[in-house]
Every structure is written in structure tokens, then in C-alpha cells.
Amino acid sequence: SNISSNVGKSGTIMLTNSGALGTVTLPSTAKTPLGLTPDWVTDSGAVSLISFYVFSSTQVLINYLGDFK
């Protein structure tokens, strides 16, 4: 994918788990706080958010908030 044309853009993705969530692997361009791997919530019906900001053509900064009740 070509992220260079999206530098400066941001958004939020809402995930509602169907109970069939497998392993999630982020691309190398995704950067998390402290470089930690998100602890994905896999419970059926769990609602989670991923917010992102395209910082550069090689870095998308993301934050994950899981399991809203």
C-alpha cells in the first residue's frame, strides 16, 4: 500500500468481535506506544477501537483500546 499520499490523516476503526478473531499482526509501518504489542480482546461481542495517525510514509502511529462494556 502507498501511505505517503495519506500523511497527516487520521481516523478511528471500531471492531466488534464475532468470536472468530484469529491472530492479528500489525504491518511494520504500525507503531504503538512503547513499541508494545496490543493485547487484543477476543471475547465474542467485545467492542474495541483502534485510533491511527499517518505520521510519515513509513510510520502509522496507532493506539488500541479494548473491551468497552
* pLDDT category of residue 21 using cuts at 50, 70 and 90: low
Q: What is the pLDDT of residues 3-14, one digit of tens each?
A: 899 999 999 999
End-to-end Cα distance, the chain: 34
Q: Is residue 25's pLDDT more than 70?
A: yes
* pLDDT category of residue 1 using cuts at 50, 70 and 90: low
* pLDDT category of residue 22 using cuts at 50, 70 and 90: low
